[in-house]
Amino acid sequence: MARILVMIPSGEVYDHDNVRWYDYRNVERHIAHYHNIGDAFVYDSSLKLLDFDTVRVLPIANPRMEEIDRLREECDYVFLRGSNYIHQAMNWENAIPVLKRLKLPVIGFGIGAQAPVEGALSLSEETKTVLRLMAESTPSIGVRGAYTADVLWGLGIRNTRIIGCPTAFRRNDPDLSVTLPGLEDVARVGVTLRREVSPAYARDVRHYLTTHRDLVKAMAARFDVTLMAQGEVEEKALVLGTPDRHEEAFAALRANPWAADWFLDDEIEALYRTRLFYSDVVADYETLVRELDLVLGYRLHGNLMALANGVPSIYFTYDSRTAEFAETFRIPSHDVFSEETFRLEDYWDQSLFDRFNRAWFHTYREMRSFLVENGVANRMVDVAASPKRAPEKTAACA
């Protein structure tokens, strides 16, 4: 089995292939620190697909080159945890001299590009160099969708393979599919929250937040809801903090003009006091979604965790990143900035989820092919040799 390095991890590894936030029991240490636990979903899911003996972190912030030399001898390859790295503000720290010194294959494991709200994407020479070093070190780079592949093509990088995100395949079940229950049988619903958003992601923050608030209220009026937060400081404090911290968090929300004017009102505050969920342990989210009948909302990885467990999910897309995921996996989605009113009934259609089921299976095969062609030992099933799949399900999706 392989000895692997991870570049830009997100959390600590325990029990071989499980991830939680660093020193997660020490709440006071990180309660005021923003970290998106969705990044830990990707890290955790990546490890669940790989066959390895040990995993270590590749230091790029403050590297010592003698340590890099030692890692070259002790490890087999590096993987870059899938995330939104290809944008104009990305800081790679000392990745370039480290990768040039290391001289190991660098596996891009579902990396993505973020389009600006306005104008063309402009990348630094540093980002272009890192991407080219990766492309030259491996047979292929795994990207999350067609938009990212197009961006890399524009840089002269041709060896991309669209693999989506490891989170989709974390259960490593090639026969996974989503089957809708009757809408009348849906009782427990998770709403994935992303209250904190910038104009760099959402072109109209006021519309984004009011639509977000209206979704929460509409789902709470119909179902037993759980509001699933993933890292905003105030939401973390409301779940993990003391009563005093709770009131400080509400005071901060009321003092935030975006939150106070377009999101937080008496009804949302009541729901925040009684229905909010957050954890620094990835496994806790998986346990939660398995108990739900539907997950929908604004969090890319929170929604994908549900789909990975066969739970129906509907995406609310608002930027190139969320739209690219919905396109790759053909996930039923509602464009936040469209003029259409969201009606759950319009999405409760098995044919829409059958498109997802076909795309998911096709991309599962692409993910395994990507790992195999890069010589990465993995646990994924060779579905071409599996007798369980009907012929129509082995065809590439339209």
Which residues have C-beta within 8 Å of that of residue 388, sequence separation ≥ 6? 174, 175
In CATH terms, is domain 183-351 a member of 3.40.50? yes
Q: What is the CATH number of domain 2-173+361-385?
A: 3.40.50
Residue 143's Cβ-side half-sphere holds a number of Cα atoms within 13 Å equal to: 27
| Cα 84 to Cα 16, 349, 372, 379, distances in angstroms | 25, 31, 24, 25
Record the pTM. 0.95
Q: At 304, give phi and psi (nearest 5°).
A: -65, -30
- Per-residue confidence (pLDDT) for residue 389, from 0 to 100: 53
Domain boundaries, the chain: 2-173+361-385, 183-351
Report DSSP state, residue 346: H
Residues 118-157 have pLDDT tens digits of: 888 999 999 999 999 999 999 999 999 999 999 999 999 9
- Per-residue confidence (pLDDT) for residue 386, from 0 to 100: 61
Residues 97-121 have pLDDT tens digits of: 999 999 999 999 999 999 998 888 9
CA distance 89 to 106: 22
**Domains 2-173+361-385 and 183-351 in one fold:** yes
Residue with tokens 């549900």: 306
List, for the chain, all residue ranges whose pLDDT scores fall below the cut of 50. Answer: 390-398
